[in-house]
Structure 1
Amino acid sequence: MQRRQFIAAGAIGAVSAVSQSSAFCMNDTGGKRIPLGLDGHSMRSMRFKKWKATQLIEFAAEQTLDAALFNGLHYFESLEASYLKGLKDLADRHEIKLYTGAGGIANNGKQFKDTWGTAEELLTTGIRVAKTLGSPVVNVRIGSIDDRFLDGGIQPRIDEAVRVLKASSSRARDAGIKFGFENHAADLRSEELVTLVEEVGTDVCGLMLDPGNGLWAMEDPMKHLETLAPYTVCNSIRDYTVWPSEDGAIFQWMAVGEGMMDVPKYVDTLASANPGMPIFVESISNSARPIPYLTREYWKAYPNLDASQIIDFLKLVRKGKPAKIDKPAEGQDEKTFDQEHERNEFLRSIAYLREHCGAGLKS
């Protein structure tokens, strides 16, 4: 099947396949609101206060959210069935839908960890956890842009991920779970994601879509979305800015509504393609990162990429302006500062989405 044919055919199949719980409303285009959720990574500094899934569910309930995403097994104090069922009961009491992830599944990836065994064993556990918690997906990924610089480039990592997913696909189908393959830390571009999903099979594999990581991979997140929205089964959202530098560009993620993203258009496009899917806020900011595309070394990560494929990204670079970096006040504990900064940024993000994008069923 040609890629263009795949996009057309996959759009129909993916849109119908990603219908979520009937408790969730359709998107705002029909006058109904969009489920709004917490990506646990938004509150990552709360790990110093020993926050795990229980505390994050309670925080989501305090903010009257509709869903929570735990994009890795490290959020759970135990993987025993009794503990997981207790979490499900807690979430149900607060009318919070849970989504889960398993992490990296490329055994040959730079960041792969064997904490839960091989990639196949990790997926077996991830599917079981998702099933117990009522998650319609188990999110997976390769790793980061560093994988593009390994011997052979990114393709051996893609091949390994496809192999692992195919080996686990029957188990996922039996459980009624779909894989959500994430574009993570600039490891994959949209054309690579489409090819991967096609090879695994759209009946069992969709995408965990992250616009911030799309930008990092030298894509305009809005164009990125247009291609990938029909295959998306889970997502995280944050805003961004990007600006020119001597070696190429520098980007920084921001609170939703405070950067360059046309957030209402982004949310409407994503929600229209995926009725009932929550919009998860993964706020990350206060850290500028380079994209040195004017250096020869950087292009070793993209041997098959044509310069014409980053035109939309380059247009963004020309429009963007630097963002400030907030720092702790003199004498303020850095951990406390990070916790307060993350909380405030998350709250600003969900407030914007509620006011401008029709997000939040309980608003």
Structure 2
Amino acid sequence: MTSRRQFLLAGAALSIGRWSGAEASDPMPPRSPMGIASTAMKDHLDGLQVAPAMRQDSMAYVEYCRSLGAGGLQFTPQGDLKALRRRMEKLDMWFEGEARLPRSLSEGFERFEQSLRDTKAMGGKVVRAVSPPPKGSSGRRYESFTSAEQYRAWQEEANAVVRRCVPIAERIGVKVALENHKDRLVDEHVEFLRSMSSEYLGALIDPGNNMSMLEDPTEVCTKLAPYVLSCSMKDMGVALYEDGFLLSEVRFDTGVTKQKALWAILKAANPQLNCLHELITRDPLRVPYLKPAYWASFPGRSAAELAAHREWVKAHTSELPYVSQLSPQERLQAEEDNNRATLEWGRVNIA
């Protein structure tokens, strides 16, 4: 019998349609209480030109993720949503959606609204949302903006877009979880959510993202916890480089962030919260905080604070994963291994 791993790497030799046929005979592993964010499955969704891409075959994607032990998924569903929902319910998997926010008020909101309707059709109650960065930019604040004024103009427009989205979410009955996506500092994020005061707008908390802006994961989780609707749990490894530090998603309990303690903070604030992981299998991110341009769009730190941070990184430096030099098949295997290991961590550590 062809295993899922053999099927995945067979590429064009096998069609995605055969995946669904394996569901009845392949035994499923124990179900983890932890789910997978789609960004942690990017290579499998794309296929890397050596395996069937699953982005357009949601049934195949659900079957594959459940074969790894996933208890739930956050992704953009395609195809027959009724059949897909039935299958996820049969597999005892929960679902969260994704919704792309318009880049400006002049863009249409129809696509956003349809994402919420699709999420509701799937039985989901919340969608992940990210304020789109300026066109052509990375979205990382320190790379996307060259002045505080430029950032504030973006922030004003981005917040206005979210304000326009909230009545749509209220009408459809699906909540919007706005991610701290290397853009707003935690206090800026909290202030915006507080100003909205809507049960249909809250936070998707990523403990690792604001580390790229030298903010502490525990502080980020604690401040945003009252608004938490979704999460992207991840452990982070660090290392020095000449212009700052390297930041990388790593296997849980091998990095510098204590996922079990951070999850406890979020779960206490929202007992209905689903536990999603977002261990992205990729090369480390360069955070050039020793270069003046890094600080162009937000307040700087004193020389003493920067020196203390560099000493902290030095004390916590570890070997970080690199995947860009791997073959496509090896990258797919690395991504699968990371997901299996993280879901297993969830079975042991998540109540």
Please, which moves more after superposition, 287-296 or 138-147? 138-147
Does residue 58 (structure 1) correspond to residue 63 (structure 2)? The answer is: yes
Show the 5 A alignment for 1:89-238.
89-107=86-104, 118=107, 120-142=109-131, 143=133, 144-145=139-140, 146-149=143-146, 152-184=149-181, 186-238=182-234
The alignment's TM-score, normalised by the length of structure 1, stands at 0.76
User: For the structure 1 residues 286 and 179, does the alpha-carbon distance in structure 2 shift closer, same or farther, using more than 3 Å as the test?
Assistant: closer
1:232 to partner: Cα distance: 1.0
In the aligned structure 2, how far is the partner of 1:314 from the partner of 1:270?
29
Show the 5 A alignment for 1:278-297.
278-297=274-293
Query: Residue 27 of structure 1 corresponds to which residue in structure 2?
Result: none
1:69 pairs, out of 55, 65, 74, with: 74
Deviations 1:11-62 (A, max 9, x none): xxxxxxxxxxxxxxxxxxxxxx994211122121112121133222212322
Query: Residue 10 of structure 1 corresponds to which residue in structure 2?
Result: none
Matched position secondary structure for 2:192: helix
User: For the structure 1 residues 328 and 216, does the alpha-carbon distance in structure 2 shift closer, same or farther, using more than 3 Å as the test?
Assistant: closer
User: For the structure 1 residues 92 and 231, does the alpha-carbon distance in structure 2 shift closer, same or farther, using more than 3 Å as the test?
Assistant: same
1:257 pairs, out of 247, 253, 267, with: 253
Percent identity between matched residues is 20
Query: Residue 273 of structure 1 corresponds to which residue in structure 2?
Result: 269
Q: What residue ranges of structure 2 are gaps of 5+ in the alignment?
A: 1-30, 134-138
Q: What residue ranges of structure 1 are gaps of 5+ in the alignment?
A: 1-32, 109-116
Letter of the 1:137 counterpart: V
Please, which moves more after superposition, 137-146 or 89-98? 137-146
The alignment's TM-score, normalised by the length of structure 2, stands at 0.78
In the aligned structure 2, how far is the partner of 1:179 from the partner of 1:34?
25
In the aligned structure 2, how far is the partner of 1:328 from the partner of 1:176?
41
1:157 to partner: Cα distance: 2.3
1:69 to partner: Cα distance: 0.5
Letter of the 1:69 counterpart: Q
Letter of the 2:120 counterpart: K
Query: Residue 334 of structure 1 corresponds to which residue in structure 2?
Result: 327
Backbone CA RMSD of aligned residues = 2.8
Letter of the 1:358 counterpart: I
1:208 to partner: Cα distance: 1.0
1:140 to partner: Cα distance: 1.4
1:266 to partner: Cα distance: 1.4
Query: Residue 84 of structure 2 corresponds to which residue in structure 1?
Result: 87
In the aligned structure 2, how far is the partner of 1:310 from the partner of 1:270?
29
Deviations 1:322-350 (A, max 9, x none): 42435589xxx711111000000111112
User: For the structure 1 residues 345 and 322, does the alpha-carbon distance in structure 2 shift closer, same or farther, using more than 3 Å as the test?
Assistant: same
Indicate the structure whose relative CO is greater, using CA pairs within 8 Å and at least 6 residues apart. Answer: 1
Matched position secondary structure for 1:153: helix
Deviations 1:146-173 (A, max 9, x none): 4433783322222222222222322211
Does residue 358 (structure 1) correspond to residue 350 (structure 2)? The answer is: yes
Letter of the 1:227 counterpart: K
Show the 5 A alignment for 1:311-350.
316-326=312-322, 334-350=327-343
Matched-pair contact (CA < 8 Å) for 1:38–1:68: yes
Matched position secondary structure for 2:226: helix
User: For the structure 1 residues 310 and 249, does the alpha-carbon distance in structure 2 shift closer, same or farther, using more than 3 Å as the test?
Assistant: same
Query: Residue 40 of structure 1 corresponds to which residue in structure 2?
Result: 38
Matched-pair contact (CA < 8 Å) for 2:33–2:347: no
In the aligned structure 2, how far is the partner of 1:120 from the partner of 1:150?
29
1:118 to partner: Cα distance: 2.6
Deviations 1:248-294 (A, max 9, x none): 22212112222111122112122121112111111114412221111
User: For the structure 1 residues 213 and 313, does the alpha-carbon distance in structure 2 shift closer, same or farther, using more than 3 Å as the test?
Assistant: farther
Matched position secondary structure for 2:237: strand
1:99 to partner: Cα distance: 0.2
Deviations 1:121-145 (A, max 9, x none): 2321222122211221122112311
Matched position secondary structure for 1:194: helix
